[in-house]
A and B are shown apart, each in its own frame.
Chain A
C-alpha cells in the first residue's frame, strides 16, 4: 500500500514548506550585504602595471573589439615608452584575451563589479586611471600568483549573515527575522 496515493504526498509537501518558515532567508540584501566574488572573476575594467609593460601592444592586437589603444615612442636603451594606454570599457565584453596574451603579466582583470557611469566618455579609461589603486585591484584570472592572496568566494549555500561563511542554519524563533540589514 503506497500512502502517497492517499493524500500523504500533499501533506509531505506542506510540511516541507512549513519548515522553510523557520529557516534563515537565503536572500542577500545587496547594497548592505554582499558576497565575496570568485577569486578568478573577470570583473569590470583592467588593472595595468606600467613598470612591467614593455609597450609590445600584444593586448591591443588580441582584443576582438579593438578597445585598447597604445601609443609608444622609443626612449632610452631602445625601449618603448608608453605615451598613451587607453581602454574603452564601454565596448569591452570581458573576454580576458588581453590578459591571457600579455607576455609580461602587465595586465590583469579587475575584481570590482560596480563601475556604472553616467557618461560614455567616463568609460574610456586613461593610463593613470588604469593603474593599481585602492579601488582597483587585480583578480586572479589567468594570474595564478595573485589568486591565493585574494579572499575566498562566499557561496550562497554556506552564507551566514553574521559570520560571512557558515551553514544555512535553522533560525531560533526568538530572533528577529526579516530585516537582516
Chain B
C-alpha cells in the first residue's frame, strides 16, 4: 500500500468520501511536480557546472553561491522573450508540440518509487506504462518539426522518429530481462526484489538499456536531432520564449526521468545501507546523470547511418542474446546461487562486447585508419 493510499484511508475517517478521494491525488501531483521542476532546475545548473569542469572551464558561477541561481535567471529571461510563430507554419500544432513533448515526461514520474510506498501510483504494469508513455514525446518532436515549416526542423523530426523507433526495441528487450528475474512489472516490486542490484546481475542488459535510453533522450553522442553544426538547433529552431523553455525543460526532464528509471531498474532504486532511502535514490539518479554528462563531454556525435547501425546491428542482437541468456538462467539456475549468474553474465557481456565492437571498426576492419 502506498503512502497516498494510506493518506486517503485516514482522510476518509474525517472527511466526506469524495474529498478523501481527490485530496491525496492533488497532494501527490503537487509533490511530484515540485520534485520534477526543482530537480530539473538543479540538473540544468549541475550539468553546466560539471560540463565546464570536464572541459577545464568553470561554468556559470556568478549568480548566487556557486551560480546556483543561474537557471532561474535563464528561465526569467526566456519567459520575457517574444514568442515567434512562423508565418507559414501550422499555428495550432506549433502551439501544441511543446505540451506534447513535456507532459509525457511528467507522466513518467507517476510510477517512479522514491521510497518504500512513496510512489504516486503503484501500477501493476508500471514499466510497460513507462515504455508506452515515454514514446509519446517523439510525436511531440515530430509535431514541432512539422509545424515549424522549416527544412532543418523537419530533418530533425525525421531523424527523431527513426532514432526513437530504433532504440525502443533494445530498450524494451533489456527491460524484459529485468522483468524475467523479478516476475513482476510493478516498479516497486522491481526495487524490492533487488537485493543485489541488477547492474551486477545483468551488466550487458544495463549497458544496452543505458545506451538506448541515452539515445532516446537525445543526449550526446546521439543528439542528432539538434546537431548544432548541421541542422542549427533541429526541431526547436523556430521556437522561442516560453515554448522553447518547455522543450528545454522537457529535455532535462527526460534525462531526469530516465535517470530515475535506470536507478530503479538496475541500481536498486531506493535500497541502500545506512542512509535514508530517498537520499540513496537521489544519489543514484545524480550518479547516472553525471555519467550521461561525462559521455556528453567526451564522445563526438555519431553519423546518422552509424546511429542506425548501432541500434540495429549492435544493440538489438545483443539485447536478444542477453534476453535468451537471462531467460535460461531464470529457468534453470537455482535462485540460491546468484553469484554463478554474475560470473556467467559478466563473461558473456565481455565476449559479446568484443565480438560486436569488431563490427564498428572502419570498413568492417579491412581499412586502416
Contact = CB atoms under 8 A, between A and B. Distances in A.
B54 A20 contact: yes
Interface in A74-111: none
A29 B358 contact: no
Interface stretch (A6-14, A45-53, A113-121, A139-147): A6-14
A178 B49 contact: yes
B66 A13 contact: no
A113 to B, nearest CB: 22
Contacts of A180: 58, 61
B56 A16 contact: no
Given A17-B54, A25-B52, A27-B58, A5 B365 contact: yes
Contacts of A179: 61, 66
Interface in B297-338: 297-299
Contact of A16 (B49, B53, B66, B298): B298
Contact of A25 (B56, B298, B357): B56
Chain B CB count within 10 A is highest, among A10, A14, A16, A17, for A17
Contacts of A27: 52, 57-58
Interface in A1-60: 5-7, 10, 13-14, 16-18, 20-21, 23-27, 29
Interface in A166-181: 177-180
B87 interface: no
A172 B27 CA distance: 46
B297 A17 contact: yes
B294 interface: yes
Given A14-B298, A178-B49, A6 B57 contact: no
A31 B116 CA distance: 50
B57 A14 contact: no
Interface in B5-57: 49, 52-57
Nearest to B66: A178
A165 B43 CA distance: 35
Contacts of A7: 353, 357
Contacts of B365: 5
A20 B353 contact: no
A14 B365 CA distance: 23
A48 to B, nearest CB: 39
A24 B52 CA distance: 11
B58 A25 contact: yes
Nearest to A25: B58
Contacts of A178: 49, 53, 58-59, 61, 66
Contact of A18 (B49, B52, B294, B299): B294
Contacts of B54: 17-18, 20-21
A2 B107 CA distance: 46
B361 interface: yes
Nearest to A180: B58
A25 B353 contact: no
B354 interface: yes
Given A13-B298, A179-B61, A23 B49 contact: no
A94 to B, nearest CB: 29
A6 B59 CA distance: 34
B208 to A, nearest CB: 14
Contacts of A14: 294-295, 298-299
Interface of A: 5-7, 10, 13-14, 16-18, 20-21, 23-27, 29, 177-180
Interface of B: 49, 52-59, 61, 66, 294-295, 297-299, 353-354, 357-358, 360-361, 365
Given A27-B52, A177-B53, A178-B58, 20 more contacts: A5-B357, A7-B353, A10-B299, A13-B298, A13-B299, A14-B295, A16-B298, A18-B294, A20-B53, A20-B55, A20-B56, A21-B54, A23-B56, A25-B52, A25-B58, A27-B57, A178-B53, A178-B59, A179-B66, A180-B58
